Amino acid sequence: MGWDFKGATAATIVAVSMSASTAALADKGCKNIQSKCAIEIGGRCDPVSGQWEYGRKGAGGNTMAYNECITRALAKQKK
């Protein structure tokens, strides 16, 4: 069974490719700096998909707090 892309738009092909890569990363959960910072500032992260967000759809946090968290986390990594 193969993929038949006849008639598919480039956007559809990209969306399918991105979904496949997201699925491959799903087992990583909320372990990266970005997701940890989203959680720290009041946002949320889905441990199954690894998708994180803040400042919308009922998730707390704002861009300034998120950027400060990222800066602190990256500074810790350099030490």
15-42 pLDDT, tens digit per residue, is: 333 333 444 444 568 999 999 999 999 9
Pair of tokens at residue 15:
């969306």
Predicted TM-score (pTM) of the model is 0.61
Closest CA to 69 of 47, 54, 50, 51: 54
Cβ contact 51:28 at 8 Å: no
Q: Domain map of the chain by residue range?
A: 27-78
Q: Which pLDDT does position 58 carry in this prediction?
A: 82
